[in-house]
Amino acid sequence: MATATAAPSDTAGAPPSMLLRELVFGAACAGAVRAAARLGVADALGEEPATPAELAAHLGVEPRPLARLLRALTCYEIFSETGDGRYAHTPLSRLLREDEPGSLRYIALWCTEPWTWQSWGRLDDAVRTGRSVFADTFGKEFFDYLHNDAPDSAALFDRAMTQSSRQSARDLTAFLDLTGISSVVDVGGGQGMVLASLLERHPELHGTLLDLPKVVAQADERLRPGGEFADRAQLVPGDCRTAIPVRADLYLIKNILEWDDESTRRTLANVRKAAGPGARVVIVENLVDDTPSMRFTAAMDLLLLLNVGGAKHTEASMTGLIEESGLRLESVAPVNPYLHAFLCTV
């Protein structure tokens, strides 16, 4: 097998005038990753390096533009050039493969969906007003638009959330001490990756998945009728800002309370209405003031401002909303370096 050469564009030592030029071309990087993911370039490349012509024949695309796309991607260490005109996988390019354990293909597609490009261009408006630009641009709130006008994008979002939750579900399942807990509800639990992991680890546990109707309809097969955990799982379509019609020992709320604060207030009030005294509530968030990846978390924070008028929390801002809701915050603990759990009781 040929050895890979270093990425051709090493920015270390580049003058500020070139660094800024590179930064303002961020869309070219995101666009190139999106194109590679949509075309399936990473899936087409096997363990042996291949030429752009070989890959192009396989993918049914033009070889010269594909070579240019590959060259652009190598600048970010996504694929590497072997020195003889062939391209090989790198750890980053492998993550774009559909069959890679820990694949980020759906996340790459989701973060570069068409609506994101229109929204980023209006970040200055969002900063001016402090509000989401979504309804102004698309005529509807974010989830309304996804579920009614952009079903492919909605399906992609759900798959991306499931993909993104795979590792965090494992970490959270290992982290949570469920002593004394016999029922859990995952509020805004997506397709149920976290809930299924909990039911797998705790054979006596019963669980409810609550999410918007079109999301619950596509829940993890293991939770659906006939699935492995069907007899211990309940699927509840609904809007947690309106009601959480489930009594459980534990309310799990993971990566939900990053929308506008009023939605968070309503959700936490509904948890309090639904839960019995002493019930536990675990809120899980990526914190913008305690993260090993500020570039990622700060970018997500801005995207949340654009699409749902939300924000990534600091420990203080999340704590403030919890205390305001009347829940008792017992402690804050890291689930993994990227995720923190706020452990509360009703």
Query: What is the rounded distance in angstroms from the CA atom of residue 175 to the CA atom of residue 134?
Result: 36
Which residue number, 51 or 234, has a Cβ lying nearer to ligand SAM?
234
Are 69 and 35 in contact, with CB atoms under 8 Å apart?
Answer: yes
| 176 or 240: CB nearest ligand SAM | 240
Among 77, 221, 239, 315, the residue binding ligand SAM under the rule CB under 6 A is 239
**Closer CB to ligand SAM, residue 81 or residue 211?**
211
Nearer CB in complex with ligand SAM: 49/189: 189
Among 93, 103, 132, 165, binds ligand SAM (CB under 6 A): 165
Question: What whole-number distance in Å separates Cα of residue 209 and Cα of residue 106?
Answer: 22
Nearest distance, CB of residue 232 and ligand SAM, angstroms? 19
| Site size for ligand SAM (CB under 6 A) | 15
From residue 136 to residue 155, the character string flagging contacts with ligand SAM as x (rule: CB under 6 A) and all else as - is -------x------------
Contact status: 309 vs ligand SAM (CB under 6 A): no
Nearest to 162 by CA among 115, 184, 195: 195
Structure tokens at 128: 């001016």
Query: Among residues 49, 189, 207, 309, which is the contact residue for ligand SAM, using CB under 6 A?
Result: 189
Is the Cβ of residue 61 or residue 215 nearer to ligand SAM in the bound state?
A: 215
Q: Which of 49, 190, 207, 310 binds ligand SAM (CB under 6 A)?
A: 190
Residue 67 or 300 having the CB closest to ligand SAM: 300
Distance CA 256, CA 147 (A): 17
Gap between the terminal Cα atoms of the chain:
60
Q: Please, what is the angle between helix 63-74 and helix 52-59, to 10°?
A: 120
DSSP, residue by residue, 308-343: HS--PPPHHHHHHHHHHHTPEEEEEEEEETTEEEEE
Interface residue with ligand SAM among 93, 132, 255, 264 (CB under 6 A) is 255
How far is it, in rounded angstroms, from Cα 197 to Cα 173?
A: 7
**27 and 41 Cβ atoms separated by less than 8 Å:** no
- Binding segment (CB under 6 A) for ligand SAM, from list 17-25, 130-138, 237-245, 269-277: 237-245
* Smallest distance, ligand SAM to C-beta of residue 317, A: 17
Q: Residue written as tokens 């489930």?
A: 246
Closest residue by Cα to residue 46 from 8, 79, 7, 5: 79
- Choice between 95 and 240, CB closer to ligand SAM: 240
Residue 279 is encoded by which pair of tokens? 């019930």
Minimal distance, residue 58 CB to ligand SAM, in Å:
34
Binding site for ligand SAM (CB under 6 A): 143, 161, 165, 188-190, 211-212, 215, 239-241, 254-256
